[in-house]
Amino acid sequence: MSLTYFKATNFRVFQDLEVNLHPQYNLIYGDNASGKTSLLEAIAYLGRGRSFREANTKELLKHDTNDFLLFGKTSNLQQVAKLGLTNGSGGLGVSVNGNHKGGLESLARALPLQIIDPNIHNLVAGSPEERRRFLDWVVFHVEPSYLKLWRNYKRSLKQRNLLLKNNGSLDEIRSWNKGFSGLGESIHLLRSSVFEILEPSLAQITSNFLGDEVNFSYERGWHDDVSLEQALIKNEPRDSHLKSTQVGPHRADISISFDARTAKKQVSRGQQKLLACAMVLGSIEIVQEYTEQPLLLLLDDPAAELDGNSIKKLMDEVVLLGAQVIATSIDFNKTLLPGEPHVFHVEHGQIKQII
């Protein structure tokens, strides 16, 4: 799949933006505050229904407008898909090939994408939620049944937490345990089987980048030697004290260690960025294998915080992946992407194709 055409109306600094994209390499360059990140944010919003800068709808709406509109065409072998999304005062609306009923899930399947931006080191240094989201993105694409399971689990967790908050009796709380832990164990099984497929790819790319062995291990969110149901019983005093469920797959994590150091705390920012980039590329490799199509990789200012050697390693690996790439840069950096990419210049929210 590649995104061949993209249009945005009333999104951030853009009133009307239209681009014909190269199926493989695209470079967007422009000064600070010209709109580079906003363009990637708009494209990512079409595939995810949320901002990778964690912005809310009001912040995304161009000043003094009510609704923004995003539209894209993707092509995959002989198939063309048309994707649309609108949000604002009229609420969220989504369509894939004219079908409005598939919700955000239909967009996520039609436009699978990953983002590497200057905050990517948070995948290593940030909270476990970042790494759960990372793993779940792979599981979502590899195991089609996962999303429904995850939604059911979240509902069950919410209800159990509500009981804890309202000081429900132990009997009432325990009556939830069976259903809750059944869903939780199923999530863990899917996650751990996907992690097993993912881990060799992560290990290989990270060691190419850092020249050292990096260890990734999946932590399921409760002790290894007990079932989730047993862990819930063991944790009853803590749960009732904190008034929320402290064990389960919503507490899972991926621990990363490198050269006998914990990557989260003991490696440099540049190394964290390289590690995180390697993880993203590894995840793309696996999802591409399962979906049997190239994915879209958005690279926002990839050179930030990386030395010349590191950026070369990163871009060499990006090229090997064969994904469609849209990269941004402050300068017209001809060497960033190989071949003959489409090159666009952005200035004050206006975009012009140069090559």
Considering beta carbons, is residue 109 or 342 the nearer one to ligand ATP?
Answer: 342
Contact residues: Mg ion, CB under 5 A: 36-37
Helix (H) or strand (E) holding 88: strand 79-88
Query: Interacting stretch for ligand ATP, rule CB under 6 A, among 33-41, 44-52, 177-185, 210-218?
Result: 33-41
Query: Interacting stretch for ligand ATP, rule CB under 6 A, among 35-43, 80-88, 137-145, 335-343?
Result: 35-43
Considering beta carbons, is residue 34 or 272 the nearer one to Mg ion?
Answer: 34
Contact 172, 159 (CB under 8 A): no
Can you tell me which residue has the tokens 């017209």?
332
Distance in Å, CB of 25 to ligand ATP, minimum: 19
Q: Is 88 in the site for ligand ATP (CB under 6 A)?
A: no
Q: Is 9 in the site for ligand ATP (CB under 6 A)?
A: no
Query: Interacting stretch for ligand ATP, rule CB under 6 A, among 29-37, 159-167, 206-214, 221-229?
Result: 29-37
Rounded Cα gap, residues 215 and 213, in angstroms? 7
Please state the φ and ψ torsions of residue 37, each to the nearest 5 degrees. Answer: -65, -35
Of the candidate residues 3, 7, 8, 12, the single one contacting ligand ATP (CB under 6 A): 12
Of the candidate residues 4, 13, 203, 207, the single one contacting ligand ATP (CB under 6 A): 13
Rounded Cα gap, residues 40 and 300, in angstroms? 7
Residues 6+ apart with CB under 8 A from 350: none
Distance in Å, CB of 328 to Mg ion, minimum: 7
Rounded Cα gap, residues 250 and 150, in angstroms? 10
Residues 6+ apart with CB under 8 A from 200: none
Of the candidate residues 62, 132, 191, 250, the single one contacting ligand ATP (CB under 6 A): 62
Q: Is 253 helix (H, G, I), strand (E, B) or coil?
A: strand
Q: Is 1 in the site for ligand ATP (CB under 6 A)?
A: no
